[in-house]
Amino acid sequence: MSTHLPARGGDTEQVSSPRPGGATGGSGLLLLPQPKPWRQRASRLDVTLSPYLYIAPFFILFLVIGMFPLGYTAWVSVHDWSLLGGKGEFVGLDNYRKVLDNPYFTKQLVNTISIFVISSIPQILVALALAGLLDTQLRGRTTWRMSILLPFVVSPVAVAIIFGSLYGDRYGLVNEVLGMVGIDPVAWHTNRLASHVAIATMVNWRWTGYNALIFLAAMQAVPRDLYESASIDGASRVRQFTSITVPMIRPTMIFIIITSTIGGLQIFAEPRLFDGTTARNGGSDRQFGTITMLIYDFGWQLRDLGRASATAWLLFLVICVFAVVNFLLIRRLGAQGGER
């Protein structure tokens, strides 16, 4: 996506730079009266400096609020650093070792991934199907589109409270309804898998419509004549969907999967508010504790910023690995789909 721009920038620079006083470039020089030397210089300065002036505010702010924290987290993570006492001794990778040795790290990492997988796979499949439904000649298109986007404006905290009231282990609506059809009550806050499913439904409710709209946009960009020729060849609609639509929107799928990975692996509000225990670490046995909750636990409940920072960096590494794996996986799947 970014490849063509530097190339184009380079070309233009080569063309324009040899010209004397060619800051304004091109034919302007022939038409305009010859500018005075100081104006030329000012104009050239304008051209060379302006871009930097435009990006400078962003980069300066970004350096402070984006890059500095990144490096500083690493710095904190190799020190003994308590919340109240501040910086202590340099301890090398000790904090990382402590975090990795803590059984909760592995457990909460697995939880995070599990919640992510349970939420994202059905979410993407349903969003695809929903986009397929919307990619028809509907009456009142915008109304339908808006109706499925509604959950997106409800904050995760509100979603967690609302769904939390449905998923009571003993007195919740979901278990009551299950009871009516003869299913035993599910221990939503105790059973590890059940708690992941409960949290995944919160995520899915909020995001499915949003992702469906993105898919829909991609679907509408697919050239319509592809379908026409497929229809002439006698391909069914479902077949058209799987062999034309899905491969054609592959880049969008990659985009959605990568962004939902970044977001999904940081999940915090939903599991924290879902937890009814006072410690709020994600259930009595951390059945649904996530990595971000562990960062909060280490940093602000156990008051150890060193371990919190180490955990944050480990989370970052996990996200990178996931992003790359997803990317490769989707590219392969997509390529196979395209061959069919």
Considering only residues 112 through 141, tell me which ones interact with another protein, judged by CB under 8 A: 130, 132-138
The residue (of 116 and 215) whose beta carbon lies closer to another protein is: 215
- Residues touching another protein: how many (CB under 8 A)? 141
> Quick check: 229 binds another protein (CB under 8 A)?
no
State which of positions 46-65 bind another protein (CB under 8 A): 46-48, 50-52, 54-55, 57-59, 61-62, 65
> Quick check: 312 binds another protein (CB under 8 A)?
yes
Query: For another protein, which residue of 168, 242, 243, 333 counts as binding (CB under 8 A)?
Result: 168
> Quick check: 142 binds another protein (CB under 8 A)?
yes
> Quick check: 107 binds another protein (CB under 8 A)?
no
| HEC letters along the chain | CCCHHHHHHHHHHHHHCCCCCHHHCCCHHHHCCCCCHHHHHHHHHHHHHHHHHHHHHHHHHHHHHHHHHHHHHHHHHCEEEECCCEEEEECCCHHHHHHHHCHHHHHHHHHHHHHHHHHHHHHHHHHHHHHHHHCCCCCCHHHHHHHHHHHHHCCHHHHHHHHHHHCCCCCCHHHHHHHHCCCCCCCCCCCHHHHHHHHHHHHHHHHHHHHHHHHHHHHHCCCHHHHHHHHHCCCCHHHHHHHHHHHHCHHHHHHHHHHHHHHHCCCCHHHHHHCCCCCCCCCCCCCCCCHHHHHHHHHHHCCEHHHHHHHHHHHHHHHHHHHHHHHHHHHHHHHHHHHC
Q: What character string, x for contact with another protein (CB under 8 A) and - otherwise, covers 19-48?
A: -----xxxxx--xx----------x--xxx
> Quick check: 165 binds another protein (CB under 8 A)?
yes
The residue (of 194 and 333) whose beta carbon lies closer to another protein is: 194
Q: Smallest distance, Å, CB 258 to another protein? A: 8
> Quick check: 210 binds another protein (CB under 8 A)?
yes
Query: For another protein, which residue of 121, 183, 193, 302 counts as binding (CB under 8 A)?
Result: 302
The residue (of 117 and 138) whose beta carbon lies closer to another protein is: 138
